[in-house]
A = this chain, B = another copy of it.
């Protein structure tokens, strides 16, 4: 039962970025191929690839792809340089909230002082591969630190998808489950379905099932009753950006989950690599929250659910104040409040 997805979440091959198309899961396992930057940016926007760390890895490979295409067209010197800067800007703007995207683009950007195009190709290919390999290792360490916090047996509740599909490795919050299972702990899981795009129902349930972990899916609004009535040992979530004071931006629905967990005395853990921490923003209010298209609310699986002409309020993320977070689990260890000093 315990098998990794056969298709990697993100994979670079010369001239092409291959993504496991997450909009088609769990019904179909299909590879999406980007041979130019526009296709990849569109894929990031449409959530063909999603999850803050995976977006970062995909963006790094995207920079390589952009460079390869410009060299194919014979661009050199200033033309190449200006084109690449435009490409990196476009990549940065693909999605506004996940800071790992900006962080990965910045790493690529910092190598642009290479004078020879051939040197830059080599440097970027290596850097993208390094970002990917590092993420595997970060996930492993977060999993190890987090798994130590889970009792045996454990019942956990999670939101959205934070597993192998959201990273290059075993995942963040779901990586903790994976590490606990691999360490021989008995874990059962509840997965919020995570409207509007159902990453929990579609992706987390799929990953847990492949891990051999028993999982029940629930409507997001049922989590409050679950926390009230059942023995839940921990709530585990990921993050798209963490402010300097420990406020957490994550998938819409995380904030009420944290409030309900605190109300019912259930530990609420955020699992994220330190690349998710943005010391440039003092607190959550300074984090840009992406508003996504109303169509995500108006229909599901191609079936219209609301009447025509009705509006929608569709923020993709919300902000959880630091005081509701019992620990932030990073690759460097388990951070406890006050987070301002711990994160700095």
Contact = CB atoms under 8 A, between A and B. Distances in A.
A267 B292 CA distance: 29
Given A202-B306, A297-B193, A305-B198, A311 B216 contact: yes
A116 interface: no
Interface residues of A, number: 55
B224 A297 contact: no
A312 B222 CA distance: 11
A329 B220 CA distance: 28
Contact of A259 (B260, B310, B314): B260
A28 to B, nearest CB: 11
Interface in A286-323: 289, 297-298, 300-307, 309-315, 318-319
Contact of A219 (B202, B220, B228, B309): B220
Contacts of A313: 190, 216-218, 222, 226
A269 to B, nearest CB: 19
A83 interface: no
A263 interface: yes
A289 B229 CA distance: 12
7 contacts: A194-B221, A196-B219, A201-B298, A218-B297, A219-B314, A224-B318, A259-B263
A16 to B, nearest CB: 28
A190 to B, nearest CB: 6
A224 B310 contact: no
A252 interface: yes
Nearest to A313: B218
Contacts of A298: 201, 217
Q: How many copies does the complex hold?
A: 2
Best-buried of A198, A221, A252, A312 by chain B (most CB within 10 Å):
A221
A252 B196 contact: no
A217 B195 CA distance: 13
Given A202-B305, A222-B318, A303-B301, A312 B217 contact: yes
A143 interface: no
A299 to B, nearest CB: 8
Given A221-B195, A222-B318, A252-B221, A303 B306 contact: no
A253 interface: yes
A223 interface: yes
B301 A217 contact: no
A222 to B, nearest CB: 5
Interface string A171-204: 0000000000000000000101111101001100
